[in-house]
Amino acid sequence: MKKISIFNQKGGVGKTTTNINLCAYLAMEGYKVLVIDIDPQGNTTSGLGIDKRSLEMSMYDILTSSTPMEDIIVQSQILENLYIAPSKMELAGAEVEMTMSENREIILKNKLKEVENDYDFIFIDCPPSLGILSINALTASESVLIPIQSEFYALEGVGQLINTIQLVKRSLNKNLDIEGVVMTMYDARTNLSNEVYSEVKKYFKDKVYETSIPRNIRLAEAPSFGLPILLYDDKCKGAESYAQLTEEFLKRQGVKNIG
């Protein structure tokens, strides 16, 4: 069992797309995966085919009351082995409520203890902020997977991101590790993408995955159908790249691909 946060305080860099698709491929490979959506936007929740309006409870209840995880986890209707702890807009209110509670940084970590051994992987999709929701995710995780968009300002904000990880390491979770860094919306034909890749490589060294995710319209379309790319268009470039990233991810775990 391993718990991994998908984190970058910048919005729109591909956190949710990476979470949805990496988890879907892992589930397809036969791993039992729990996806925790801790972003009030709830894009992971809807992108995995869950109708947010139908939810009675969400991560909000986990973080603000004694509700146990098993009460909110829903089984995916589209992929066996995939489970979701959903989020909806009300989660935005949790930030304020949590600032009043004691031990507010370790609520998620403690709640996960009840269920974590039921899964092979637990992925937490963070909101685009350095606030208490992200701190809870980082505190509950063994490692952080960082998507970085291949753009001119790619490394802007990375210092802050690393500071946050260091801060959590020092005070709350000394074993927190960087799982890997994945370049998203990458265009191998442009000098810019290549330059950004080498910059990121200089900074993160062998933490950077060899697989980069290209800009691919199918990846952007799939969530509106509530489908991961492997069920929407498993032959497109986006699907191929996430399948390859999954292989690389598994290799780093030291496990053989069982597919």
Ligand X SMILES: Nc1ncnc2c1ncn2[C@@H]1O[C@H](COP(=O)(O)OP(=O)(O)O)[C@@H](O)[C@H]1O
Give the footprint of ligand X on residues 154-213 (CB under 6 A): 184-185, 213
Stretch of 12-20, 79-87, 114-122, 139-147 contacting Mg ion, by CB under 5 A: 12-20
Looking at 5, 9, 16, 139, which residue binds ligand X (CB under 6 A)? 16
18 counts as binding Mg ion under rule CB under 5 A: no
Q: In the chain, what is the straight-line distance between the N-terminal and C-terminal CA atoms, in Å? A: 19
Residue 53 CB coordination number (10 Å): 6
DSSP assignment string, 87-99: --GGGHHHHHHHH
16 counts as binding Mg ion under rule CB under 5 A: yes
Q: Of 16 and 87, which has the nearer Cβ to Mg ion?
A: 16
9 counts as binding ligand X under rule CB under 6 A: no
Tokens of 177: 């590790």
15 counts as binding Mg ion under rule CB under 5 A: yes
- Compute the distance between CA of residue 192 and CA of residue 203 in angstroms, rounded to an integer: 17
Q: Which does 184 bind (CB under 5 to 8 A by kind): ligand X, Mg ion, none?
A: ligand X
Total residues binding ligand X (CB under 6 A): 18
- Cα 217 to chain centroid distance, Å, stands at 20
Q: Tell me, residue by residue from 230 to 249, as one string, x for binding to ligand X by CB under 6 A and - for no binding.
A: --------x-----------
Q: How far is the CB of 184 from ligand X (least distance, A)?
A: 5
128 counts as binding ligand X under rule CB under 6 A: yes
Order the strands of the 74-75 sheet from edge to edge: 74-75, 82-85, 33-37, 121-125, 2-6, 143-149, 177-184
Residues that bind Mg ion (CB under 5 A): 15-16
